Copies of this chain bind each other. A is one copy, B any other.
């Protein structure tokens, strides 16, 4: 065998990984909003606010240069995957985008989620996972040695959405305590409403739930709100809350939830937010929506300074930047 003498590619003496002080999230998975108490929320919001400042000034940074995110989406979600990709890229990191076709390849050969995850963690420093089955992200996290971030698992959790919703309230209004927050639309099936409500039980807020009878907030979540001792009311009519709400959090009322279409036709207009309706609202309040919208908020609202839903989208990028930096030990 021929002896090969090679000049070394790298001078290892110069290759030393800098140490960053931990914040309790380094190396952690982000699975559920239940991981976030007020101290941790304050921490993440503070970091997300810094990301907002940084992006506003220079667009991006090198904080995560050399790190790789595997973005694994078993069901497509352009909005969420684009947000995570942008977050990683604005921090100088790289992405392995697997946002299509997962179903055609290894999985179609019968590979388990656990094996797919243990394969991807050989390549990547952090994994963002969206999966149609509730609980699947926890399973993935149990097997992975790198942090796994939940980007939605079926009717389960979508914690980064809840964090960006709450962050938006704080960024827009400067505080969360003391606010009157109205949730409007499908409160029964909308997981964003459930997760945000859970987070809000940690604050001193008044909650107003506006929905048709068949789409009322589930009992179990209502009881959490009551147990937290919050001021809470339910109503069928947005007119009851528009006058003094600080936040109007609107979700889609899905036609397909109604067996009686006449009932749908009756309620749907009660929940369309228009510029006319907003003349009755406070001057300092915000209209939010997790998007996509399909008629719940009229386009004539878009130019209203209180329309916060696109700023809310941008806040999603800042929150994900803060989370990526945190779990990778860079914040």
Contacts and interface: CB of A to CB of B under 8 A. Distances in A.
Given A4-B43, A59-B66, 13 more contacts: A2-B39, A59-B68, A60-B66, A68-B89, A76-B104, A78-B101, A82-B98, A115-B291, A115-B293, A118-B310, A119-B291, A119-B313, A123-B317
Contacts of A6: 43, 46-47
Contacts of A39: 1-2, 4
A9 to B, nearest CB: 5
A96 B85 contact: yes
A82 B102 CA distance: 11
A22 interface: no
Interface stretch (A106-114, A205-213, A237-245): A106-114
Interface string A49-91: 0110110011111010111101000001111001101100110
A95 B320 CA distance: 17
Given A122-B317, A123-B317, A291-B111, A78 B61 contact: no
A99 B101 contact: yes
Nearest to A313: B122
A16 interface: yes
Contacts of A107: 78
Contact of A292 (B79, B106, B122, B325): B106
Contacts of A132: none
Contact of A122 (B66, B122, B314, B331): B314
Interface hub of A89, A104, A291 (most chain B Cβ within 10 A): A89
A103 to B, nearest CB: 9
Given A10-B50, A97-B97, A310-B122, A294 B79 contact: no
Contact of A38 (B2, B42, B106): B2
Interface in A290-305: 291-294
Interface in A137-165: none
Nearest to A110: B294
B317 A57 contact: no
Nearest to A125: B59
A32 interface: no
A17 B98 contact: no
Interface string A230-255: 00000000000000000000000000
11 contacts: A2-B39, A9-B325, A10-B50, A10-B54, A12-B54, A16-B58, A76-B101, A79-B106, A79-B119, A119-B313, A122-B314
Nearest to A39: B2
A96 B82 contact: yes
